[in-house]
Amino acid sequence: MYLPKKVEIVEVGPRDGLQNESRFISTEHKVELINALSETGITRIEATSFVHPVHVPQMKDAKEVLEKITRKTDIQYIALIPNQKGYDRAIQSNVNAVALVVGASNTFNKKNVRMSREESMSQLESVIYRAKEDGIFIRFDIATSFWCPFEGKVAVNEVMKMIEQVEKLDVDEIVVCDTIGRANPQQVYELFSNIFEKSPKAKIGAHFHDTYGLAQANTLAALQAGVTVFDSSIGGLGGCPFAPGAAGNTATEDLVMMMHEMGIETGIDFDKILDCVELVKPLTERQLTGHLHKIQRNTTATTQN
């Protein structure tokens, strides 16, 4: 079995993990979580998004969050932006990386940003050029790369066309996303193998949701295909407001444990990550989808009995 010596884990919990929470989470709690994650060895955190608060109310305090966190010079603080206006706001808040999102599925993209895929690509070109001039790291997320909640299975050639388009824009990183957690390991291996056959200049990352319980299996398939950058969310929180039925992301603590068990370095302190799970628990009214916190709880109960 092919396994890399090291992987990079991008923590998306403060943005992707919390955005779907119906109850507003205080700025102070968000700041506390980001600061705690910054102490774990994670070097890349998707901290917030500059979307219109009407569409994603949970992110209405993006500016305040970025003002109040204790920044570390070796950490990349990423903000998701939908357009030029969002980019301007992000730059004013001194982010050092931005994430752009376009759906491989036209229907999803229209639900998400009220534009066709091609309209989104055209609009974001100017944002990318501006970010390059400003020296900002650019990650480009291709949503619904495997399945769409409205159109069904997404054809590999559609995603490959998008990869080719994005590569021409010279972004730093392209993230292939299983937005609704419907992909299977064979699909994952096939798509990433096709991508790496083209020898992309950009870093290639994977973003899995665990709706069908296949996030870890899909992670292993992506590893086999050559992926070494993985998004995850503390506690397994997550979901997309515009993708019905999408469950949480790959749980960071589960992903770190799996990598360490296989002898793959992450640079992350496992005990500190588990402490972060405890911080997340009271912030949500939903059940965490990660597995380790359940095992810990049961082990503690057994010991006390």
With CA atoms as reference, report the closest residue to 234 among 215, 219, 249, 244.
249
Cα 28 from Cα 140, distance rounded (Å): 29
Catalytic-labelled residue, pool 148, 177, 240, 276 = 240
Active site residue 240: yes
* Nearest C-alpha neighbor of 91 from the set 126, 135, 54, 123: 135
Catalytic site positions: 240
